[in-house]
Chains A and B, each alone.
Chain A
Amino acid sequence: MNIRPFLFRITALFLCAFLGVMLFRGIAAMPPKESVTGPAAHYLERASRETGARNVVGAILFDYRAFDTLGESTVIFTAVCGISMLFSRRKFHRSSSGLSFIAKRGIGIMAPFLIMYATVIILFGHISPGGGFQGGTIFATVTVLLCVVFGSSFESSYFPPKTKESLESGGALLFCGIGLVGLAAGTGFLSNLSAGFPAGREGSLLSAGTIPLLNIAVGMKVGAGLSAIFYSMIKMLDTTNDYREGGPIR
């Protein structure tokens, strides 16, 4: 009998138990919920006054730490570039004809509402939970659904890859352009209310200065990027598999 797998499992068990114990110790060491200290207290107290946004998470992501958000969206941009390069071997492909009639009608009824949901989550990112990243991902999920149910050529005729590319680059340019406005006003890259953007009435749709604009930029970028990743992957799948019947994912 080989002893090595057994030893490996025992080691893994001890490692997991150790990590779990450390995690619980960390939870026990956390300060109590009632008293908020440090930067959290500052954010909770002054975020709505300093940024005009009701969603504190959105205020932190797109105002206090907007430069970090720019870095995160650059990560997605790099991933999309890499995956598109990897999967761009073949130019022409044959699309599948999609799933059954019932699935097509069902998704056809649902898809507009899903796109509307994504838009609402992006546009109301400074008021309610959500934001550019979440809404963009929902939009990418809608394109994935269309790809699977209707076939990838249908999806690419509605959302052409060229449009996705320009949307993604446009999102990045919009983000950097808004940041440069702050720089031109003399207050710093990606500064919000101090650069002269109007705060508006708190809780209304047109408020919080640059935060809705940055939400739109990130939503464009993430939605177009993730759907481009999926499209390039499923395009490869369509070229390699021989379809007799049915959809791309079986």
Chain B
Amino acid sequence: MSLAFMVFLYLFLIATALVISAIGDILSAVITLSVFGILLATAFAILQAPDVALTQAVINSGIVTALFLVAFSQTERPPCYDKEEEKEE
């Protein structure tokens, strides 16, 4: 693969990882996590590890996203937590 594509891939990986850790909305973080997983799977496939790439793609973008979404809709954010964040800002 060309160097430019790898650089683009790695920069996008770093960007999505930062977005996951920094974003406040949990739903957006879960969706970004699945994007991160697909990019990581692409990187694994380019680095000649197709077994790991397959596992990464299926688990991170399929099962983990589904389980996180279920957990997200099961739980609710307590209102006191919101207030604390507002104070910090």
> Which A positions have Cβ atoms within 8 angstroms of B?
5, 55, 57-58, 121, 129-131, 133-134, 137-138, 140-141, 144, 148, 226, 229-230, 233-234, 236-237, 240-241, 248-250
Contact with A along B24-67 (1 / 0, CB 8 A): 00000000000000000000000000110111001100110011
Known A-B contacts A137-B62, A141-B62; A240 and B70 likewise in contact (beta carbons under 8 Å): no
Nearest chain B CB to A114's CB is how many angstroms away? 10
Known A-B contacts A121-B54, A130-B54; A137 and B71 likewise in contact (beta carbons under 8 Å): no
> Which of A58, A226, A241 is B63 in contact with, Cβ under 8 Å?
A226
Nearest chain B CB to A72's CB is how many angstroms away? 12
Q: Is the CB of A134 within 8 A of B58?
A: yes
For residue B69, CB closer than 8 A to chain A, the reply is: yes
Other than the given A131-B51, A133-B55, A230-B63, 20 more pairs (CB < 8 A) read: A55-B51, A121-B54, A129-B53, A134-B51, A134-B55, A134-B58, A137-B58, A137-B59, A138-B62, A141-B63, A144-B63, A148-B66, A230-B66, A230-B67, A233-B67, A233-B71, A234-B70, A236-B74, A237-B74, A249-B73
Which secondary structure characterizes the binding site on chain A?
Answer: helix
Interfacial chain A residues near B66, Cβ < 8 Å? 141, 144, 148, 230
Interfacial chain A residues near B59, Cβ < 8 Å? 137
Interfacial chain A residues near B70, Cβ < 8 Å? 230, 233-234, 237, 249
> Which of A55, A137, A148, A240 is B74 in contact with, Cβ under 8 Å?
A240
Of the A-B pairs whose beta carbons lie under 8 Å apart in the complex, a sample of 27, sorted by A's number, is: A5-B88, A129-B50, A130-B51, A130-B54, A134-B51, A134-B55, A134-B58, A137-B55, A137-B58, A138-B62, A141-B58, A144-B62, A144-B63, A144-B66, A226-B63, A230-B66, A230-B67, A230-B70, A233-B67, A234-B70, A236-B74, A237-B70, A237-B73, A240-B74, A241-B73, A248-B73, A249-B69
Interfacial chain B residues near A234, Cβ < 8 Å? 70
Which secondary structure characterizes the binding site on chain B?
Answer: helix
Question: CA separation between A137 and B88, bound complex, in Å?
Answer: 42
Nearest chain A CB to B56's CB is how many angstroms away? 10
Interfacial chain A residues near B50, Cβ < 8 Å? 129
Q: Sort A-B residue pairs by CB-CB distance and give the 8 closest, nearest first.
A: A129-B50, A141-B62, A137-B58, A134-B54, A57-B51, A144-B66, A233-B70, A129-B51
Residue of A nearest to B45 (CB): A129
Interfacial chain B residues near A240, Cβ < 8 Å? 74
Question: CA separation between A229 and B59, bound complex, in Å?
Answer: 14
Residue of A nearest to B56 (CB): A134
Interfacial chain B residues near A121, Cβ < 8 Å? 54
Could you say which of A130, A134, A248 has the most chain B C-beta atoms within 10 Å of its C-beta? A134
Nearest chain B CB to A234's CB is how many angstroms away? 6
Contact with A along B14-27 (1 / 0, CB 8 A): 00000000000000
Interfacial chain B residues near A148, Cβ < 8 Å? 66
